[in-house]
Amino acid sequence: MGSADSRLTIAGRELAGLRAEKTILLAIAIQLFIAAFSSFLVVGLVSMYDPGALDGAEIEVAAAGDAVTDLERAASEVGGASVTRYEDAGAARLAFERNAADAVVIATRDDGGGGSGGIDVHITAPDATVETTVIVVQLRDLLRTYELNERAQRAEFLSESPLPLPERTGSSPYFTFTYTVLIPVLVFLPVFISGSLVVDSITEEIDRGTLELLRVAPVTLGEIVDGKALAAVAIAPGQALLWLLLLKANGTPVANVPAILALMTALTTLVVALAVAISALAPDRRAAQLLYSIGVLVLFGGATAMAGGPANAVARLAIDSADATTTALVIAYVAIAAVAYVGVRQLVAENGFEG
């Protein structure tokens, strides 16, 4: 079939251009950089925000006040904080001053220790040091346990008792992050790059006047669009697959790889359709790229914010929590992408590019 041939020829020409400029290597280098840096970023962020998650750091608390016995009991349950009792608040603060303690906790009963009143806890933590975050997080754990114990003692005054908590288990916060943020980002980056490539490719041809030359050749405008789209869509799944394989080799199993690739290919097609439509409307590269970035931002921002967005779908597929709705979602995205592309191609084939 002649027309299929010409499409492949145009797609081949696009890919040859990319190969000659070696830009695809740059793209992969960028993704590698993001992947390497995000692990660095996560370690940094998590250790700042939830340092207790990193290791079982033990802090020393100087405690005083008339409710300190219960605090000591809570500390024996938690681990991570050891409480030393001092005679009064002054002695506890002195210990803090002398670096004998990481924090001061003064716990006093509100109404004479009847057992029904509240307890006021005043914490003094050191400011602006690396350990402050660790100390505050450990204190929070300690005080939550304390609160649970005290609440249990007052159960008779409650109309409903709180649900008992399951056992504490160790788990890494990176796990959820890897599947819900890192994998979607790595899977979608090639999508955006492909769309941007199509915008560049078309506006550049218009700008340099080579599109006119192409049209002298025995190909239709629709076939030109097909060829360019084919090249852009073809390079996307390969990049995503590379990442998923790398993650697998790195000990992060990724489930449902074919479904993820199908989803991302559908999205690439959708974004490429958007790119073709935009370059047809705004043939100037600057305007087209601006509209394209905003369009993609709105599209993906909106889709991610809604339930069942593509990022969440990829996360659920990768973590192996997919169900019938996820499958339906993938099929829906494929259908939407096909309709959008065919529609845009039809419009462009009939009306041509402006400019």
308-327: contacts with another protein (CB under 8 A): 311-312, 315-316, 319-321
**Does residue 6 touch another protein according to CB under 8 A?**
no
CB of 143 or CB of 261, closer to another protein: 143
**Does residue 180 touch another protein according to CB under 8 A?**
yes
**Does residue 12 touch another protein according to CB under 8 A?**
no
Rounded Cα distance, 230 and 55, in Å: 50
The residue from 9, 82, 84, 108 that contacts another protein (CB under 8 A) is 108
The residue from 76, 172, 220, 351 that contacts another protein (CB under 8 A) is 172
Please, how many CA atoms are within 13 Å of residue 325, restricted to the half-sphere of its CB?
Answer: 8
Three-class SS state of 288: helix
CB of 302 or CB of 343, closer to another protein: 302
> Where on the phi/psi map is residue 193: left (φ > 0), alpha (ψ -120 to 50), or beta?
alpha
**Does residue 201 touch another protein according to CB under 8 A?**
yes
Q: What DSSP letter does each residue of 3-65 carry, written as one string?
A: HHHHHHHHHHHHHHHHHHHTHHHHHHHHHHHHHHHHHHHHHHHHHHH-GGGTS---EEEEEES
**Does residue 19 touch another protein according to CB under 8 A?**
no
**Does residue 121 touch another protein according to CB under 8 A?**
yes
CB of 82 or CB of 108, closer to another protein: 108
Stretch that binds another protein, among 126-134, 220-228, 241-249, 259-267 (CB under 8 A): 126-134
Rounded Cα distance, 133 and 120, in Å: 22
CB of 33 or CB of 335, closer to another protein: 33
The residue from 106, 187, 267, 273 that contacts another protein (CB under 8 A) is 106
**Does residue 208 touch another protein according to CB under 8 A?**
yes
The residue from 4, 12, 16, 45 that contacts another protein (CB under 8 A) is 45
The residue from 37, 55, 212, 248 that contacts another protein (CB under 8 A) is 37
Which sign, positive or negative, has the C-alpha torsion 16, 21, 27, 28? positive
The residue from 9, 132, 242, 303 that contacts another protein (CB under 8 A) is 132
**Does residue 80 touch another protein according to CB under 8 A?**
no
Report the nearest approach of another protein to the CB of residue 256 (Å): 13
Stretch that binds another protein, among 4-12, 140-148, 241-249, 330-338 (CB under 8 A): 140-148
CB of 179 or CB of 353, closer to another protein: 179
Count the residues of the shown chain that bind another protein, applying the rule CB under 8 A: 122
Rounded Cα distance, 343 and 334, in Å: 14
- Residues of this chain, 258-287, that bind another protein according to CB under 8 A: 281-282, 284-287
Rounded Cα distance, 355 and 350, in Å: 15
1 membership: H or E segment, kind and range: none
Q: How far is CA 338 from CA 189, 237, 246, 263, 279, in A?
A: 21, 17, 30, 12, 19
Task: Name the strands in the sheet holding 59-64, side by side, starting at the edge strand that comes first in the sequence.
Answer: 81-85, 59-64, 103-109
The residue from 1, 87, 167, 249 that contacts another protein (CB under 8 A) is 167
Token match 């790059």: residue? 193
Site string for another protein, 218-257 (x = CB under 8 A): ----------------------------------------
178 Cβ contact list (under 8 Å, min separation 6): 247, 252
Task: Supply the angle between the helices 285-305 and 310-318 in degrees, to the nearest 10.
Answer: 60
